Each structure stands twice: as structure tokens, then as C-alpha cells.
Structure 1
Amino acid sequence: MLLPYARRYFGLKLVILMGASAWGIRYLLLSWGGVDLPLLVWIGLALHGLAWSFTALAGQIYIDEKVPVSLRSTAQGFIALIISGLGAFFGSLIAGEVVNWQTFGSKIAWSSVWLVPGGVGIFTALFFALLFRSPKRH
């Protein structure tokens, strides 16, 4: 529900940057939260909708605006394949390896597990901020 307002007020680049940052912050909060700090976990969980809307949905809007009408359905299908197909497949493989890496006996070090996607999210946000160039409006 915030996406249309945020897009109008901040622009698409900043919205996508906020979404990428929200992913990193979300996972860092999950890492730092837990039994002693459950509020951090709840805030991290609440950030999921904002992170998804401000990255995946805003990215689809960006593609829809930049791709010629004749190629929009192909471009949207390709993005869906990358995010929900290949991204989910390889993401689950990597996540499994991270969990295995942070499993000691029968205990999983969840704080350390959540640091990995947290760091990836922050790195992705910084990478996006430095390299994404908004096209000039005429």
C-alpha cells in the first residue's frame, strides 16, 4: 500500500534502494533478536512486506516502463523466472549450505545464519546505490 506513495515522493531508484536496504536490515534484526530481544524479530518480520514490495514489485514496475510494449510480457516472465525460479533454487541451496556451516552438533547458530543474508542485503543495497543510474526524463 505504501509503494505508490513512496514512488511518487521518492522516485523509483530510491524506493528500490529502500527495499534492498530493508532486506539487509530485516535479516540483521533477525540475527540480533531472539528470546532476549523478541521485538527485533517482530520488526524484522514486519519488514518483509516492505522489502518485497519495494524490490520485486518496484522492479517489475521499472521493467514495465522501460521495455517496449511488444516485449513486456516476455520481460516480466523473465524476471519471474530469475526471482522465483532460479533465485529461489540457488538461494535455497546457498541457505542450506549456510545452515550446515553454522550447525554444531545438534545446535544451529541462527544468529550467525541470519548475518549472511543481512550482509548480502546491505552489500546489494550499496552496490545498487553506486551503480544504478536513473534515466534522464525529457
Structure 2
Amino acid sequence: MTALFAAVFVALFAAHHLADYPGQTDHQASHKADRTVTGWITNQVHAATHTGLSLLALLLLGVVLHAHVTVLGAGVGLVWVHVSHSFIDRRRAIAWWMDHTGQAGFRAAGGAAHVDQAAHIALGLLPAALLIASL
């Protein structure tokens, strides 16, 4: 299971970066946190990009490495990827965290993007990989 976890984590990490950088449009980056219907839809489309690329990464693991990921594990893990990414990208939790943990100055200086990525890795990808590898 350890090797599967490592392979899944790396695959999800790569998919995450593909979805967040070359796979994210300027419109999505600018509006995914807006408190409007358009903002919510934009957020969900962006999260779906993460889910889709993560699914492709898991399929690639199965084909290339013959990694055995169960349908249940993949399903639960991909739902976690989607929901956690959507929640983090609404930006309110990151702003709250930074403002209440002595990081307001770092946030004002543009540090929110770094805390956002740390949250995606620690609260999104890591639990998803654990779920996928263990179910």
C-alpha cells in the first residue's frame, strides 16, 4: 500500500499543478472566488478540471504501472479532490486563517497564493491519496 500511496500522491500532485496553472484560464483565476452565481459556476468548472485531470492521472497509473486502484477508492478520492479544491479556492478560509494566525502582513504582501497551495497539498491531495490507496 505504501508504494501505491506514493504513486497516487505524485500523480495527483502533477494533475493539480497542470489544472492550477496551464489548465486554469484568466477568467477562472479572477472570478472563482466571487460571491456570485458566475463565481460559483467558475469555481466548479475549475474544480472539475482538477477532478478530470486527477482521474486521467489515476488511469495512467493503472495502464503504465499496473497500479490497482479500486473504483471505491478512486471515487471517494476524486470527490475529495473536487470538494476540497472548490472550498479552498473560494479563498475565505485562507484569508481567515492568515488574518487569525499572525499572517495578515504576509497576506497583504501577496502570500495568500502560497498558503493556498500549501492547503491544497496538505488538506486536499494528501487525504485524497490516502483515501485512494486505502480503499
State the TM-score bracket (shorter-chain normalisation).
0.3 to 0.5
Larger radius of gyration: 1
TM-score by length of 1: 0.34
TM-score by length of 2: 0.35
